[in-house]
Amino acid sequence: MNDDLFGGDSSQWAFGTDFEDPLAGVDTTMVDDVVADDLALYCLGLADDALIMSQRLSEWCSRAPEMEDDVALANLALDLLGQARLLLARAAAASPSVVPVLPEGSPVPPEDALAFFRSAGQFRNVRLAEVPGGDFAHVIVRLLLFSVARRELLERLRGSRDQVLAAVAARGVKEVSYHRDWSARWFLVLARGTGESRRRLISALDELWPYQAELVRCGAVDLALADAGVGVDPTTYAGAVDAVLGEVFATSGVERPSRGPLAGVGGRLGRDGVHTEALSLLLAEMQVVARAHPRGRW
């Protein structure tokens, strides 16, 4: 990112820029009664959700049904990538031990080291984000399920005692509100469109629903951070998520899916580093160039 765009001479742009740094003036000190590794893991979970979703959304670049939706999907991907960057950087600041070690003299910043030099087992994203893409209905359903839950999370995270997390959430809640609105509108259009669009929508919903419960599951790290007033316990907003989805389903005339949640491995889920094979393939594509040039400057 060209950081000169924050401030500086913007008269060269037709409409002006006036970009704002979301962390300007934010107190970056760590809350002292939180275990540093817990905070790092918590940030990695939220960051990885956004990063992997962003990667999946960006796969739609040039493939959406209309150019306008192509640009919209790229915008959403970039919103989430921006959230991921700030959260990865916060994870690294909280506990440098989570950052992969690169060759001495490598200019790769910690946020990039975390994004490009961790293997699948070290990623903490929910599995909903990583499952392979399908048709346009699939991207709509995935984005709806994801953004409804993430919006409730970010809304509550704005009150975090960690000022950086609070600032990221305050910025992100506006972005994700739009993602929710955008995907809910498309959900309605596809549900009430043609027989074919409705069939595809319900098929995608049926496929992705087993991954939904993971979005509102509370792990040990979530609980520890929530108790400290730094994180949010997902079970506190599970009801709100359910209500929003129920409203979308009712308006669209779609029945709530009946399939149960997808089991983990010995109770371990995406947040614990247990993933589907799709994540390895996604990471191979996302990381190959950075890994080939560990001393590269981008």
Partner 1 sequence: MGEWPLYEVFVRSKRGLNHVHVGSLHAADDEAALRNARDVYTRRNEGVSIWVVRSDAITASSPDEKDSLFDPSGDKVYRHPTFYTIPGSVPHL
Q: What is the per-residue DSSP string for 42-80? A: HHHHHHHHHHHHHHHHHTTTTTSSSHHHHHHHHHHHHHH
- Are the beta carbons of 30 and 230 closer than 8 angstroms? no
Which tokens is 103 given?
């060759």
What's the CA gap between 182 and 77, in Å, rounded?
13
Q: Which is nearer to partner 1, 18 or 206 (CB)?
A: 18
Min dist CB 73 to partner 1, Å, is 9
What's the CA gap between 231 and 35, in Å, rounded?
12
Min dist CB 11 to partner 1, Å, is 10
Which residues are at the interface with partner 1 (CB under 8 A)? 13-19, 65-69, 71-72, 75, 181-182, 185, 189
What's the CA gap between 162 and 259, in Å, rounded?
37
What's the CA gap between 173 and 152, in Å, rounded?
8
Min dist CB 133 to partner 1, Å, is 19
Q: Which is nearer to partner 1, 65 or 96 (CB)?
A: 65
Min dist CB 210 to partner 1, Å, is 30
Min dist CB 5 to partner 1, Å, is 9
Min dist CB 227 to partner 1, Å, is 39
Q: What is the per-residue DSSP string for 199-248? A: HHHHHHHHHHGGGGGGGG---HHHHHHHHTTSS--GGGTHHHHHHHHHHH
Q: 78-116 burial, b if ≥16 CB within 10 A, otherwise e? A: ebbbbbbbbbbbbbbbbbeebbeebeeebebebbbbbbb
What's the CA gap between 234 and 149, in Å, rounded?
9
Min dist CB 17 to partner 1, Å, is 6
What's the CA gap between 94 and 200, in Å, rounded?
43
